[in-house]
Structure 1
Amino acid sequence: MGEFALGQPVPRFEDPRLLRGGGRYVDDMVLPRMVFGHVLRSPHAHARIRSIDTRAAKQMPGILAVLTGADWKASGWGDLPAAGGMKRPGGLPSYKPRFPALVEDRVRWVGDYVAFVVAETKNQAMDAAERIEVEYEPLPAIASTERAVARGTPRVWDDCPDNICFVHEVGDKAAVEAAVARADRIVKRRIVINRVTAAAMEPRGAIGDYNPAEDRYTCYTVLQRTHAYRADLAQMIGVPEARIRVVAGDIGGSFGMKSAVYNEVALCLLASKQLGRPVKWTSTRSEAFLSDAQARDHVTEAELALDRDGHFLAFRTKTIAAVGAYAQAASNVFVMNLGTLAGVYRTPAMHAEVTAVFSNTNPMRPYRGNGRPEFAYVIERMVDEAAAEIGIDPVELRRRNTIPPEAMPFKTGLIFTYDCGEFAKNLNLGLELADTAGFERRRAESQGRGKLRGLGLSNTIERAAAGGFEAAELRFDRGGTVTVIAGSITQGMGHETIYKQLVCDRLGLRPDQVHYVQGDTEKVAIGEGSGGSRTATLGGSAVYLATERIVDKAKTIAAHLLEAAEADIDFKEGVFAIAGTDRTLSLADIAGAAWEPQSLPDGMEPGLVASAAFAAKQQN
């Protein structure tokens, strides 16, 4: 096994560059003749815009443009993408309000987009924004997710009188009703999960650069999915995807928050087209709290039914979930993880209902687990509450209801089917490693020092690599160095290390022989990007398949050069050899020969290049 083989602990290859300040983030970029943008945001949660006077702002030093909602409308560009595919009560499609990059007549959250100022310097743009005179007529607002559906609550959207974006149900409602009716004990709780913001180390930023000679747009920004980003921008602008280039440099964290297009990206591109100069915008930390998509914000009524021996009979939940002021792209994806409510327990009947509501708050997007932590918390909290109410050890209650290995594959009754799992074994190992047997002694010691010590237990499960595919390409040069071109985007997760170690293991190379490329639609043919804990599974599998194809082609070339049957060629640790002999060729030798047509078998294309895409047959 080589030093860099799979399973071997290796230092992350990307870290030295980043730790020495060698990272290149979007705010580090300086393009020739670049200018700067600043967004004027709403100070009101809900208000009608009576008038906007930009004359004084336009007279300020260095000001190049002041765009308002009227200018956005006049551009003919479309709205930001919205989430769809769900249903409202009565089977109607989910409500999808328009989401222009700048509003025209009404703001719907503190931080909504009122105007975009472009100047020679960032400070000039910020100063001019303060000179824009906006007359607001404040309107009643609703900031509570739970009260958004109450009678008499202010409407966020006039043509959505109940503030309901969509309602989604899964499970067997009738079976739950029957099980609850015969239960010996029913435990009910109201569980509130607060709203959060990502607060990534690197705030959002963007540079828009329009090339009039080619009629092409280049967008440098922070994101998770370059090709999806390009598709969304193409739809907004109304041009083919081929006329848009999306580039992501180093990214300082995302956690889902940077997963889709934001208003500022479109505004930078529009301003660049109008001014003929690159336009940069970078969020401040305080601005991030007003404009970044947020997450969580659920209120759940949960009900767990048990028999007299503490076995689960039924579990049902009703959740009111926030989508914020707009139904942004992917704001509804969390419901795909409702199956997490099943946990690792054998519950015969389950039903879950989610009502997603509008409120005068930041729009929502996926964030760190995208529903999985919320729903896992609900079931685990309910198990603890049931144990306390019954008077049984919470560990014992879990053991009585854990799915045994022999039940696999196990249909939970709530979306997911588990193909494997030794949950009781995992629980016991966790208890052993945590030294729960010695907990009371440690608690007594803490009390003696005036400290409180508690013991928590969570028996959660979550799926990974859900949906879609991932792609990768491997390209060898004449000297035997390979470039790995990946469709995923790292935001600090160590993708370069993952892929390099995989390639080194499969092809017998050193890390310095492997070059890594990501995050540029001009260099990466296709990719789904990062999210949902998918990179190692889907992206790694795509890289693995590409290495297999490299080896297959290289073996054919080796057999031709060594004048042997392909079946007699062995490959190990970067060397091809005729079995049982000392006649060998290195992978570097093959890579060089691959670009010499006279060295190849008849009909073989020159080059040592392979691409692959991988999609899981069954989501786990």
Structure 2
Amino acid sequence: MGEFAVGQGVSRFEDPRLLRGGGRYIDDLKLPGMAHGVVVRAQHAHAKIVGIDTTAAKAAPGVLAVLTAADIKAAGLADIPVPGGLKRRDGTPMYKPRYPILAETHVRWVGDAVAFVVAETVAQAQDAAEMVVVDYDELPAVVSTAEAPKPGTPKVWADAPDNICFVELIGDKAATDAAFANAAHVVKGEFVINRVTAATMEPRGAAGHYNAADGRYTFYGPMQRPHPTRTELAQVMRVPESKIRIVTGDTGGSFGMKSPIFNETPLVLLASKLTGRPVKWISTRTEAFLSDAQARDNITTAELALDKDGMFLGLRVQTIAAIGAYLQTATPAFVLNAGTLAGVYRTPAIHVDITAVYTHTNPVRPYRGNGRPEAAFVIERMVDLAARQLGIDGVELRKRNFITPSAMPYKTALTFTYDSGDFEKATDMAVEMADVKGFAARKAEAQKRGKLRGLGLSYTIERAGAASLEGAEVRIDKSGTATLFSGSNSQGQGHETVFKQLVCDRLGLDPNEAYYIQGDTDEVFFGEGTGGSRSSSLAGSAFHLATEKIVTKARAIAAHMLQIEEADLKFDEGVFSSTKTNRTLTIKELAAAALEPKNVPKGMEPGLLANAIYTAPVANYPNGCHICEVEIDPETGKTDIVRYNVVDDVGTVLNPKLLHGQIHGGIAQGAGQVLMEDIHFDASGQLVTASFQDYAMPHAHDFPDMEVESCPAPTPTNPLGVKGAGEAGAVGAMPAVSNAIVDALAEFGVTHIEMPATPERVWRAIQR
């Protein structure tokens, strides 16, 4: 379809509606008789609840209900689901505490949900919430990831004496130890990957409506996984899944944070049932800092063994990872992405030791990359450290150890089996695009202006589109226009645009006439949702299968109507034609004809519509080379990114505009963490970065024009040949920016600088 074909940089079909104020976000929802809820949150990181007095709050003007843990118990609701399946170091099952909807006997982080107040207006609910009196017996708290497993540290859970949730051991320890014993060089690095938060443009929100007439709950809210959430929520509410409907409108960002069931989800549903009114809760920005799940927060010691020629022999990694006060759905999944530690290198022996610990802090959950950026940071910082220690150019050292295209598929010494890629070619493209040869001149020019200039490179790879299922449906109505139903939910990525491209390009339809539906479990027949860079490969492939079913059926109907063999028909640009007849039939003509039984072959159902569930048997592995240049003012320590170039391999490029947008956004999040973002608690567990006055967020002016090119190696793992792109930017940016900063500071003997590399931290490194 020409300008709308797959591979074209089609502008987003979503944007005109959003730019004209037509967005349908959760706070736009207004249902008749809607009441409003406010959560009463813990003021201490760790305390015993001695008592809760709700008398004054219940008597306050406009108050309809005040819920506590006793009301949750009386209603018979279950706890929030938590994952399992891993083990501790001694082989016993991982420690998996309950996650109550409202705190019962103890609070375990500042922001823990204690009570829920429902009133006619938000202001009335806020006023009444301040009247809820909670009598606390404050207890010692631990917020430090490093301190959590040490003897004598305050315990988050009394029956988890060492605060350890699970330990995961990956790789071959004996082979790795042997590799180190035979190494000519051993390089060691210690890294603190700080805690950050998603800070989504749209804060979390939830609205619930219980229909007493049919005993059915409807939940409205921004989320990534409507169908799996319905399954879990039915378990919490203790009702059949058919009694739950999930409706997701537009979502202003998520990055993994809005994926699980939060406390407010069952609270608004129960409150609606008890009050007979729809109930809505909307997070304030400060409340988001206190109640949203957070991310990253781990401490790693790594060692890289090399032979005399700089060939990698072994990698040994030990990590302590914080998971906060409670487990959340999919939280342990970051261990599955530890395979990213192998990088793009032929390291024959690797062993990884991961210990997950509880702390008196917000729960930690998957966030853009979910373990991949952390792992990529470690391996690419280690390669840079090795290059400096051995006196080998960083590009050259990487090339010596790259996995070659001829070795694909390649099973690493950890858990991943890479499908395709040409790492040396992509590196060469990036080096040329970034004009690495001209860096020395740019560095000298910067020096004349009193600036330090550094260049950092990373080559990272990640797992995307993990083995799973996804659904899609295409219906062509009698007028010949299409309706697309997607099981994969957008939070701003542009799903509507790329799926319309896929379907309409194949069927020869105008995408402006197609209608797109997502996020409603009563309309979309099946879906697993969005996460882990899976939508292009899984949902895209599901739409591909559904569209092929329609083409196959339309071909049979066309052959029947034209009275020729199906094999004699050609289908191109939405038209069936044949050298055996001078007649043609368009897909639009067939859509109308297919609803008349006389036009349909015997035994075939009328109508052009099809659904499909695509099964991905294995993951795919996007990869890419990032090259970053920074300038640092030695007088102030301020770091500016002045050049940024990327060559990425995401397989078949469906829409370059959307791809570049994903890469740019990921770079901003990765660089934001390296330069400025930081969640910080004081020793008592109070969050001291609970607003944008204290939590620095990157702005557009913090970045230069970021150049992105593609070096596609289409993957054989799905029919479209696509690899996930949503997290690639964040995975590559963290090590590239850090390597550039260290390079700029190398003349001062700096070999590493912790995140975030704030002006003060950089200035102090220079002074030392």
* Same structural fold, with TM-score higher than 0.5 when normalized by the shorter chain: yes
Deviation for aligned residue 1:536: 0.8
Q: Structure 2 counterpart of 1:424, which letter?
A: E
Letter in 1 for 2:330: A
2:137 paired residue number = 137
Partner of 1:295: 295
User: Contact 2:476/2:608 (CA < 8 Å) preserved in 1?
Assistant: yes
* Counterpart secondary structure, 2:148: helix
SS of the residue corresponding to residue 49 of structure 2 reads: strand
Of 565-574 and 271-280, deviating more is 565-574
1:433 aligns with 2:433: yes
Q: CA deviation at 1:452?
A: 2.2
* 1:177 counterpart = 2:180: no
Indicate the residue corresponding to 2:255 in structure 1.
Answer: 255
| Moved >4 Å (runs of 4+) | none
Amino acid at match of 1:285: R
Structure 1 residue 201, shift from structure 2 partner: 0.5
Letter in 1 for 2:157: W
Using the alignment, how far apart are the partners of 1:60 and 1:316 within structure 2?
A: 60
Q: Partner of 1:274 in structure 2?
A: 274
Cα distance in 1 for residues equivalent to 2:313 and 2:563: 69
Q: For 1:551-570, list aligned pairs within 5 A.
A: 551-570=551-570
1:18, 1:67 → 2: CA distance? 37
Deviation sequence 1:385-440 (CA, Å, 0-9, x none): 11122222222221221112222222111001123221111111111111010001
For 1:420, the equivalent position in structure 2 comes to: 420
How do residues 380-395 of structure 1 correspond to structure 2 at under 5 angstroms? 380-395=380-395
Give deviations 1:440-468, integer Å, cap 9, x for gaps.
11111112222222101101011211121
**Maintained 8 Å contact 2:44/2:138:** yes
Match of 1:13 in 2: 13
Instruction: Return the alpha-carbon distance in structure 2 between the equivalents of residues 136 and 607 of structure 1.
Output: 65
Q: Quick one: which amino acid aligns to residue 201 of structure 2? A: M
2:444 is matched with 444
Please give the secondary structure, in 1, of the residue aligned with 2:616. coil
Map of 1:198 onto structure 2: 198
Matches within 5 A, 1:253-402: 253-402=253-402
Structure 1 position 500, deviation (Å) = 0.5
In 2: Cα distance, 1:342 partner to 1:168 partner? 16
2:187 corresponding residue in structure 1: 187
Helix, strand or coil for the counterpart of 2:230? helix
Aligned pairs (5 A) from 1:450-469: 450-469=450-469
* CA deviation string 1:544-571 (max 9, x = no partner): 1111100111111111112222222221
For 1:425 and 1:566, locate their aligned partners in 2 and report how far apart those are by CA, in whole Å.
Answer: 44
Give the aligned residue type for 1:373: P
**589-598 or 166-175: bigger deviation:** 589-598
Q: SS at 2:320's partner residue?
A: strand
SS of equivalent residue, structure 2 residue 37? strand
Confirm or deny: 8 A CA contact 1:48 1:137 kept in the other structure.
yes
Q: Aligned partner of 2:6: which letter?
A: L
Give 3-state SS (helix, strand or coil) of 1:516's partner. Answer: strand
For residue 552 of structure 1, what is the amino acid of its counterpart?
T
Q: Is the 8 A contact 2:47 2:139 kept in 1?
A: yes
Task: Indicate the residue corresponding to 2:105 in structure 1.
Answer: 105
In structure 2, distance between residues paired with 1:71 and 1:143: 31
Q: How far, CA to CA, are the matches of 1:338 and 1:227 in structure 2? A: 27
The offset of 1:375, in angstroms, is 0.1
Partner of 1:60: 60
CA contact (8 A) 2:468 2:617 kept: no
User: Which amino acid counterpart does residue 513 of structure 1 have in structure 2?
Assistant: E
Are residue 28 (structure 1) and residue 32 (structure 2) matched? no
Question: What residue in structure 2 maps to residue 228 of structure 1?
Answer: 228
- Worse-superposed segment, 420-429 or 250-259: 420-429
The offset of 1:71, in angstroms, is 1.2
C-alpha contact (below 8 Å) 2:317/2:352 kept by paired residues: yes
Per-residue CA shift, 1:96-121, capped at 9, x if unaligned?
Answer: 11111101110000000110000000
Distance 1:250 1:355 in 2: 37
Q: Size of the alignment, in residue pairs? A: 620
Q: Secondary structure at the match of 1:83?
A: coil
Cα distance in 1 between the residues matched to 2:568 and 2:346: 53
Per-residue CA deviations over 1:453-508 (Å, capped at 9, x if unaligned) read: 21011010112111211110111111001111010000000000010011121000
**Which one-letter code corresponds to 2:312 in the other structure?**
F
Q: Which one-letter code corresponds to 2:604 in the other structure?
A: M
- Tell me how far 1:288 sits from its aligned partner: 0.5
SS in 1 for 2:460: coil
Q: Could you give the per-residue CA deviations for residues 527-558 of structure 1, whole angstroms, max 9, x where no partner exists? A: 00001111111111110111110011111111
Contact 2:467 2:617 in 1 (8 A): no
Shift of 1:580: 5.0
Q: Is the 8 A contact 2:170 2:351 kept in 1?
A: yes
Q: Which amino acid aligns with 2:21?
A: G
Q: What's the secondary structure of 2:154's corresponding residue?
A: coil
**Letter aligned with residue 590 of structure 1:** L
In 1: Cα distance, 2:234 partner to 2:396 partner: 56
Alpha-carbon distance in structure 2 between the residues aligned to 1:557 and 1:222: 42
Distance, in Å, in 2 between the alignment partners of 1:558 and 1:395 is 57
Contact 1:501 1:511 in 2 (8 A): yes
For structure 2, the 5+ residue unaligned runs are 621-768
Letter in 1 for 2:358: F
CA distance in 1, matches of 2:448, 2:581: 73
Paired residue type of 1:535: S
Return the alpha-carbon distance in structure 2 between the equivalents of residues 467 and 84 of structure 1.
19
Alpha carbons 1:313, 1:347 under 8 Å: kept: yes
Where structure 1 has 5 or more consecutive residues not aligned to the other structure, the ranges are none
User: Secondary structure of the equivalent of 2:428?
Assistant: helix
- Matched letter for residue 542 of structure 1: A
User: 2:3 aligns to what SS in structure 1?
Assistant: coil
SS in structure 2 of the partner of residue 91 of structure 1: coil
Matches within 5 A, 1:525-544: 525-544=525-544
CA deviation string 1:300-358 (max 9, x = no partner): 01011111111111001010001100011111001100110000111111011110000
**RMSD of aligned residue pairs (Cα, Å):** 1.0
Question: Are 1:304 and 1:315, in contact at CA under 8 Å, matched by a contact in 2?
Answer: yes
- Structure 1 residues 562-571 or 543-552, which shifts more? 562-571
Preserved contact between residue 36 and residue 120 of structure 1 (Cα < 8 Å): yes
The one-letter code matched in structure 2 to 1:470 is E
AA partner of residue 115 (structure 1): A
Question: 1:70 maps to which residue?
Answer: 70
1:347-383 deviation per Cα after TM superposition (whole angstroms, max 9, x unaligned): 1110111100000000011100100000000000011
Instruction: Point out the more displaced range, 581-590 or 196-205.
Output: 581-590
AA aligned opposite 1:429: M
Q: Does the 8 Å CA contact 2:538/2:615 hold for their aligned counterparts? A: yes
Superimposed CA distance per residue, residues 131-190 of structure 1 (whole angstroms, 9 cap, x where no aligned partner) = 111111110100001110011011100111111110011100000111111111111121
Matched-pair contact (CA < 8 Å) for 2:564–2:580? no
1:470 corresponds to which residue? Answer: 470
1:377, 1:258 → 2: CA distance?
Answer: 25
Q: Do the aligned residues in 1 keep the contact of 2:189 with 2:303 (CA within 8 Å)?
A: yes
Question: 2:395 & 2:561 partners in 1: Cα distance?
Answer: 65
Bigger shift: residues 600-609 or 249-258: 600-609
- Looking at structure 2, the residues matched to 419 and 211 of structure 1 have their Cα atoms a distance apart, in angstroms, of 50
| Alignment pair present for 1:592 and 2:592 | yes
Matched to 1:93, the amino acid is P
| 2:405 match | 405
Deviations 1:568-620 (A, max 9, x none): 22211111123354301111111111112232222221211111111222222
Deviation of residue 265 (structure 1)? 0.9
> What one-letter code is carried by the residue in structure 1 that aligns with 2:42?
S
- The 2-side partners of 1:451 and 1:83 are apart by 50
Query: In structure 1, how many angstroms separate the alpha carbons of the residues matched to 2:15 and 2:159?
Result: 51
Which position in structure 2 is the counterpart of 1:512? 512
CA contact (8 A) 1:480 1:513 kept: no
